Amino acid sequence: MVNVLFVCLGNICRSPMAEAIMKDLAEKEGLEDKIFVDSAGTGSWHAGEPPHKGTLNILKEYKIKTEGLVARPFSREDFDKFDYIIGMDQSNIQNIYKMTGQPDHPKIIRLLDLTHLKKDVPDPYYTGNFRETYELVSEGCRMLMEKIKKEL
């Protein structure tokens, strides 16, 4: 079992979007029993809430399941549980480093560093552009899936 955790700031936009997309990819590849996917936020103010309406709408548009997506805070224990901790931007990565005490650990990766883009995923909570976020997160998740398939 490969355990993947996506992390953003509040766990209502980017990371639950990535969680849903990655679960969808795993199901399409027949790997849902080999890849466990979750998401969390480095901030806890949205804990227990569903994803942002913009995230839910774009996932619905692409027929990606959203059941069970609930915001939760990232914890130090997540470092031990997950094989991949995928941050959406450099600020999230820095927060993860601080929270885990594991700076520059290879299991902590910025999502778009897996692609040719090598940049942050913009936060649609502030930009309002959920389509751009969806496209970038989808590309990152596809590259992560390819990486995991090679390891399996």
Q: What is the pLDDT of residues 91-120, one digit of tens each?
A: 999 999 999 999 989 999 999 999 999 999
Q: Which residue among 24, 38, 120, 123 is the active-site one?
A: 123
Q: What is the mean pLDDT of residues 76-100?
A: 97
Domain positions in the chain: 2-151
Q: pTM to 2 decimals?
A: 0.97
pLDDT for 152 equals 87
What average pLDDT does the structure give for the chain? 97
Active site residue 8: yes
CATH of domain 2-151: 3.40.50.2300
Active site residue 13: no
Hey, is 5 helix, strand or coil? strand
Active site residue 14: yes
Per-residue pLDDT at 9 exceeds 90: yes
Q: Which residue among 13, 14, 24, 110 is the active-site one?
A: 14
In percent, the amount of the chain with pLDDT more than 90 equals: 99
**Strands 108-110 and 84-87, bridge-based pairing:** parallel
